[in-house]
Amino acid sequence: MGKKYLTQPKVRERYGVSDMTISRWVKAGRIPEPALFGNRNYFDEGELDEADRRAKSEYRRARAEPPKHTPPHLQNSSK
């Protein structure tokens, strides 16, 4: 079975974000870089699915860890 590619408008629709956000996510490594075919960006759907699974896993791991610090407004509440 061949790879399935999504155009940038389809990726925009998938996540409900702007083109600028997609560009920022690519630059930050949140989603993989698109393939460029004839002046159009095409995103590998399998790679996007994997990036989503990785982000979800990282989010769950971060939520399971205790906070790394206490906000200042809560530090002296025991007095």
- pLDDT tens for 34-63 read 999 999 999 999 999 999 999 999 999 988
The model's confidence at residue 65, banded by pLDDT at 50, 70 and 90, is confident
Order across the sheet with 5-7: list the strands. Answer: 5-7, 40-44, 35-37
CB 66 within 8 A of CB 29: no
**Virtual torsion, Cα 21, 24, 29, 30, nearest 10 deg:** -20
pLDDT of residue 78: 54
